[in-house]
Homo-oligomer: A and B are copies of this chain.
Amino acid sequence: MKYEKLEKGLIYDGSPIQPFWAFTEHKVKGSSIVAWIGPLNIEPEELIDYEDVGLEIKADKMMHFIVEHFDRQPADLKTCYHRQRILVMITKDVLSELGINTTREGDDIYFEGKKLSISIATCSNSSMKIHFGMNIINKGTPDDIETIGLCECLEDMDDEKIDKLIDKICESYINEIESIEEDITKTRVF
């Protein structure tokens, strides 16, 4: 599983959730996690969550993670949502190591009751996809929901910390998935 950090800020308009985006747009082939910093503004036709239909989903500056897995053929949504939860729980853990204590409900992370992140999982027949985004600043978010950004969660949050945080989340996730694969190969079944 590869980790690619995009240097160029990219707007998340929903299209990166499509299968094979990492390969067709960024030449990243195979299972991968691609991360970058950029705004969020999901086009209605790119919506994956039927409960979000009609809602505005936007933010000025987020860290974005796009995960794609090819290890299950056919791919399935159930496995993908388990991995999404693992990604979100890892993030909560990494934040806690930074001193940012958050709460989690399903795939949402909150800081002092304010929404810090968004996420969705989906799949095609051949790959499983996850988008996970976390506000860096609390600007440009919808009015109807109280949100927060990482810069408000920690006093001395800076670009370097943000950068390391992104790396840490990606590396921890890759390690986790690999350790699961490895545990399979040591286990007696019935």
> Which residues of the partner chain B approach A23 to less than 8 Å between Cβ atoms?
50, 185-186
Our pick among B48, B124, B176 for the contact of A125 (Cβ within 8 Å) is: B124
> Which segment, of A5-13, A33-41, A86-94, A160-168, faces chain B?
A86-94
The answer to whether A187 and B92 touch (CB under 8 A), given A82-B82, A86-B85, is no
- Binary contact track A69-83/B, C-beta < 8 Å → 1, others 0: 011111111110111
Check A180 for interface membership: any CB of B closer than 8 A.
yes
Please indicate the chain B residues that have their CB under 8 angstroms from the CB of A121 in the complex: 183, 187
CA distance A20 to B48 in the complex (A): 12
| Pairs across A and B, CB under 8 Å, 8 listed | A18-B190, A29-B186, A31-B185, A73-B184, A77-B189, A78-B79, A79-B82, A86-B89
- What CA separation (Å) do A18 and B50 show in the bound complex? 14
Which residues does chain B contribute within 8 Å of A181, judged by CB atoms?
A: 70, 78
Does residue A156 face the partner (Cβ distance < 8 Å to B)?
A: no
B126 and A187 contacting across the interface, CB-CB below 8 Å = yes
- Complex contacts, A104 vs chain B, CB 8 Å: 93
Whether a CB of chain B sits under 8 angstroms from the CB of A96 is yes
A125 neighbours in B (Cβ, 8 Å) = 74-77, 123-125, 189-190
Q: Are B51 and A186 in contact (CB under 8 A)?
A: yes
User: Are B186 and A49 closer than 8 Å at their CB atoms?
Assistant: yes
* Chain B min CB distance to A33 (Å): 14
User: Which residue, of A20, A179, A181, A186, has the highest number of chain B Cβ atoms within 10 A?
Assistant: A186
Residue pair B106, A185 in contact (C-beta under 8 Å) = no
Complex: chain B residue closest to A31, CB-CB: B185
Question: Chain B CB within 10 Å — which of A18, A85, A93, A107 has the most?
Answer: A85
